[in-house]
Structure 1
Amino acid sequence: MGSTALSVPGSGETLCWYIRMTEATATAQFTTREQIIQAAADSLLENGYSGTSVRAIASRAGVAIGNLQYWFPTKSELLVEAWRYLTARSVEELREALNQLTDPLEVLEVGVESIWDSLRRLGDIQLAAFDLLVQAPRTERLRAYLPELFTRYREVIQEQLDRLEDGGIIRLTVPREVLVPLVLNTVLGFGLYYVVTRDDESCLRALSAFRTLASTLIEPVP
């Protein structure tokens, strides 16, 4: 019966055309949504929350305001997605940097500059996240996102500790519930400090002492 239906003249072509059009429409919608999020993220990095307007985002994305509001009825909904996008980028940068560590103590001793390059790249993205912290108390939707922001960073740190411990590379000398917040606050703190001061020299000096601190928290497995 199905084959009979498909044998109707032109029906197969019509079906294929419909499928192609449906797929193309879905792709265009996805692209438009992502385009809007990218524009919002760029605006956050350049202008902060208070300097980012729906009209400016629509203009940057090249879409009508009505189209933007179809996807994101409120500014807070859109900016949460933009922060989510920036957080994902930030976490991936951090993951790539940490994945290169095989002997954390040695890297902290001789590879300070490479670590700092990674932290510095995270700085502007983290500044947008700190802007969120300032704005969140005023908007319920933003407050609800805060736990997610820190969860993403905690997850990547936990993941790296699993990798180093399971690989027999390190042994923790303090509980994880102590180490993870310490690492998280260090990464976020250096990122913010650099964004505010742009002082590479003082950041490198501080990081150069990190091996001493690290040796009290983790130790290599013989």
Structure 2
Amino acid sequence: MITTAPTRDRLVAAAHDVVREGGYAAASVAAVAERAGTGASTLYRHFPSKGQLFVEVFRTVCEGEIRAAEAAAAAHDDPVAQVLAWVRTFCARALAAPRLAWALIAEPVDPLVEAERLAFRRSYRDGIAGRIAAGVAAGRLPAQDPHLSAAALVGALGEALVGPTSPDAVDPDLSAHLQELMAFTRRALGDA
């Protein structure tokens, strides 16, 4: 039996690389197929549309981002430190790969990818909300609706990352930006 997984995986990896370098706008079917060492017809045998290919890329990248943020949070016992580690990891990784972050956060995309973007924002919210709830229960944070606070935090962080990850960004001070985002997170949560 011939497996198609290696070709599919190569296509997803190639699409990821093209998006990381130039965003979705640069990720034509021809560019992805060429990077993967295949033809466009091969790409379409594995993905019925360009949108479905990029949904797979989006899922792959975002699942990796969630794993990294969860691992950083798990290194701490204190729920507030967990939230801060989660946020720091997410934001630092976005700032370290600005074109990819721009594509994931704000670049206009196919409606299929936009739906996936919204689903992952909920995943980010959920990853933070449980830790906020634990912080409230432990008396480390003031009473608040953990899901509402987490959703607001994810939205604010996403918006704050748009500028410095934008293709038009002019050499932002990423270290200072990250420090400001962390200070904002503490204030938003009510952490003294």
Residue by residue over 1:143-180, the C-alpha shift from the partner in whole angstroms, topping out at 9 and shown as x without a partner, is: 433432322222322344466668x5845521123311
Q: How does 1:11-90 map to 2 (within 5 A)?
A: 22=1, 25-26=2-3, 29-90=4-65
Take 1:204 and 1:71, find their aligned partners in 2: how far apart are those partners? 39
Take 2:44 and 2:80, find their aligned partners in 1: how far apart are those partners? 50
Find out whether 1:200 has 2:170 as its counterpart: no
Take 1:115 and 1:176, find their aligned partners in 2: how far apart are those partners? 15
Q: How does 1:105-124 map to 2 (within 5 A)?
A: 116=88, 119-123=91-95, 124=97
Residue by residue over 1:3-46, the C-alpha shift from the partner in whole angstroms, topping out at 9 and shown as x without a partner, is: xxxxxxxxxxxxxxxxxxx3xx23xx112111111111111111
Partner of 1:180: 150
Report if aligned partners of 1:54, 1:75 keep a CA contact under 8 Å in 2.
yes
1:144 paired residue among 111, 115, 121:
115
2:103 paired residue among 110, 128, 133:
128
Percent identity for Structure 1 against Structure 2: 21
Distance 1:144 1:103, change over 3 A: closer
* TM-score computed with the length of structure 2 as normaliser: 0.75
| Structure 1 unaligned regions, length at least 5 | 1-21
Q: Which amino acid aligns with 2:109?
A: Q
Q: Report deviation, 1:71.
A: 0.4
Backbone CA RMSD of aligned residues: 3.3
Report if aligned partners of 2:12, 2:57 keep a CA contact under 8 Å in 1.
yes
Report if aligned partners of 1:102, 1:169 keep a CA contact under 8 Å in 2.
no
Report if aligned partners of 1:153, 1:184 keep a CA contact under 8 Å in 2.
yes
State the 4+ residue runs in structure 1 displaced beyond 6 angstroms.
none
Q: Which amino acid aligns with 1:202?
A: A
Q: Which amino acid aligns with 1:151?
A: R
Aligned residues: 185
Take 2:118 and 2:182, find their aligned partners in 1: how far apart are those partners? 31
Take 2:117 and 2:89, find their aligned partners in 1: how far apart are those partners? 26
Q: Report deviation, 1:212.
A: 5.5
Q: How does 1:97-112 map to 2 (within 5 A)?
A: 97-103=72-78
Q: Which amino acid aligns with 1:185?
A: G
Take 1:179 and 1:30, find their aligned partners in 2: how far apart are those partners? 40
Distance 1:92 1:171, change over 3 A: same
1:156 paired residue among 127, 130, 134:
127
Report if aligned partners of 2:153, 2:188 keep a CA contact under 8 Å in 1.
no
| Structure 2 unaligned regions, length at least 5 | none
Q: Report deviation, 1:101.
A: 3.1
Q: What is the DSSP-based 3-state SS (H/G/I as helix, E as strand, rest coil) of the residue aligned with 2:144?
A: coil
